Amino acid sequence: MLGLSVVMISTGQMGVLKMTLKYLRKKVDLTGLNVHWLIGDDYVDHRKIDNERCRAFIRATELFEHCYFPGSNQGLGQMFNHLYEKVATPYTLHLEHDWKFIKPVRLKPLLEIMEEHEDISCIRFNKKITKALPLLFWLGESEREKKIAGMTLTQTKAWTFNPTIYRTSHVRRVLPIDNDSSERSFKAKMDATGYQCYSLGKPGETYVRHLRGISWGRY
């Protein structure tokens, strides 16, 4: 049975985390997979954030096998580094606390595609409702789209922390990433490897929506 770890990173915002988990359960089909759950809740000193309440909620779910609850702020990069060192499955669903799946997705067929196609390093879930951004896609180049096992994948230009299925081994090869500008650090290191990133569906097809919360860097 294919193994998948769900890796979540939160910042004490229980409301958005609850919404993310609700729609993960509602829209994402994990049937047929050996699933493991990991979460890190970074400590944030902010009047609108209650880390202890959020961490109590996380414990009460009895869902997560590994919980990382630091007593001081670590930053996104360090949280990422810590959690991915703990992953023991070949694939990872990366899902930060403030994303909502809005379209049903079955993960087992996507992992089976990745098993058969070594050139596919990750499959991301697109958030764009209209046309795709030129920074992310090669617009007008139909050869970037692949039809595999009845599903459409489009090769993209950008690595991201948006909801994505990663090959865990590829991510771990670029660790550690920098704490400052962590997503840019991750993108630069993944670009340097030559790994190929794909998005589920055609450019502009929407699978996730960003929830309103307190953004990283506003603490």
Domain ranges of the chain: 3-210
pLDDT at 54 > cutoff 80: yes
Q: Is the pLDDT of residue 219 over 50?
A: no
Residues in the chain: 219
What does the DSSP assignment read for 157-214? Answer: S---SSSEEEEHHHHHHTPSPPSTTHHHHHHHHHHHHT-EEEEESSTT---EEEPP-P
Distance of CA 49 to CAs 58, 213, 219, Å? 15, 10, 9
154: DSSP letter: E
Express the helix, strand and coil content of the chain in percent, nearest 5 each.
Answer: 30, 25, 40
Beta bridge partners of residue 68, listed in sequence order: 40
Average pLDDT, the chain: 91
CB atoms within 10 A of CB 95: 24
The pLDDT score that the predictor gives to residue 180 is 82
Rounded Cα–Cα distance for residues 208 and 211 (Å): 9
The pTM for the full model equals 0.92
Which pLDDT belongs to residue 146?
87
Q: Which pLDDT tens digit goes with each residue over 151-173?
A: 999 888 778 899 999 999 999 99
Q: What are phi and psi of 69, to 5 degrees?
A: -120, 80
Has residue 106 got a pLDDT over 70? Answer: yes
> Residue written as tokens 């996507």?
110
Under a CB-based contact definition with an 8 Å cutoff, are residues 204 and 131 in contact?
Answer: yes
pLDDT at 134 over 90: no
Residues 69-103 pLDDT 10s: 999 999 999 999 999 999 999 999 999 999 999 99
3-class DSSP state of 129: coil
pLDDT the model gives residue 130: 46
> What's the pLDDT score for residue 214?
75
CATH number of the domain at 3-210, please? 3.90.550.10
**Percent of the chain predicted with pLDDT > 90:** 77
